[in-house]
Amino acid sequence: MLRREAFGRMLRLGLPVGGQFLVEVGAFAAASILMGSMGAVVLAGHQVALNLSSLSFMVPLGISMASSVRVGHAVGRADLPGMRLAAKVSLFVGGGVMSFFGALFLLAPGPLARLFTDLEDVLVVAAGLIPLAGIFQVFDGIQVVAIGVLRGTADTRVPMWIQTLGLWGVGIPAAAFFAFGLDHGPAGLWWGLVLGLAAVAVIQVLRVRHHLAGDVRRVLIDEDLGSDPSA
């Protein structure tokens, strides 16, 4: 039987999560459109760098999901030290893994680009962008883990707005300005994305710190079931 109040609470918790994915996917789609205006070769080089960063991003994405579960379990048993420990470990591991990948991108952009293409003109563009992707993905990894921690505490609405403002209020405008206003081309566009994700990462981590400094309580979707120990 559908419980309307429980369903409404579930939507209030879950819709912002979907909104976060929409905001992020939309921002990268917009970046690709902007990059495409510079030509097919530039877009191809951009896609190589983006594919590499997307591949490495799967690791912190998995850590983010695990952090949601670990933090959520700690919330359920009212274990504030456990929440904080899970958050710290998740952020440390996520940041550490992406720092490793970032160093790899900085040190070996050419060989990494050749895993995707042997076209020399595309390789030149890709090899110039992959080091920027290395810087970019450190912030990307940290912000996605921080979002996972916050989801474990049922904090989804504020992180969605942080991501929206960071990517669409800072990242995309900065990318367009650096690429076209300052005429820095593809590298300028990526620097704008770096700036946007850096803003998101810093604010999300501050949100985690602020949120876990207080009293985090369990959120019951279905209060009738939650009040019955045998349910």
> By mean pLDDT, which of 2-16, 84-98, 100-114 is the weakest?
2-16
Q: Predicted confidence band at 222 (pLDDT cuts at 50, 70, 90)?
A: low
The tokens describing 42, both together, are 């530039």
- Give me the numbers of helices (H) and strands (E) for the chain, helices first please: 9, 0
Distance of CA 42 to the CA centre of its chain: 24
Q: What is the dihedral of CA 61, 67, 68, 74, to 10 degrees?
A: 180
Average pLDDT of the residues in 55-65: 95
SS3 182: coil
Residue 172 has pLDDT above 60, yes or no: yes
Cα angle value 47/140/66 (rounded, 5°): 115
The tokens describing 208, both together, are 């985690």
- Closest among 110, 104, 70 to 90, alpha carbons compared: 70
* Domain spans in the chain, listed from the N-terminal domain onward: 4-216
Please, are residues 171 and 193 in contact by the beta-carbon 8 Å criterion?
Answer: yes
The burial of 38, by beta-carbon neighbours within 10 Å (0-12 exposed, 13-18 middle, 19 or more buried), is given as middle
**Tens digit of each residue's pLDDT (9 = 90 or more) over 103-145:** 999 999 999 999 999 999 999 999 999 999 999 999 999 999 9
Average pLDDT score over the chain: 90
> By mean pLDDT, which of 160-164, 178-182, 195-199, 225-229 is the weakest?
225-229
| Contacts of residue 137, Cβ cutoff 8 Å, sequence gap at least 6 | 53, 56, 57, 98, 101, 102, 105
Average pLDDT of the residues in 72-88: 92
SS3 118: coil
Residue 2 has pLDDT above 80, yes or no: no
Cα(207)–Cα(199) distance, integer angstroms:
12
Residue 149 has pLDDT above 90, yes or no: yes
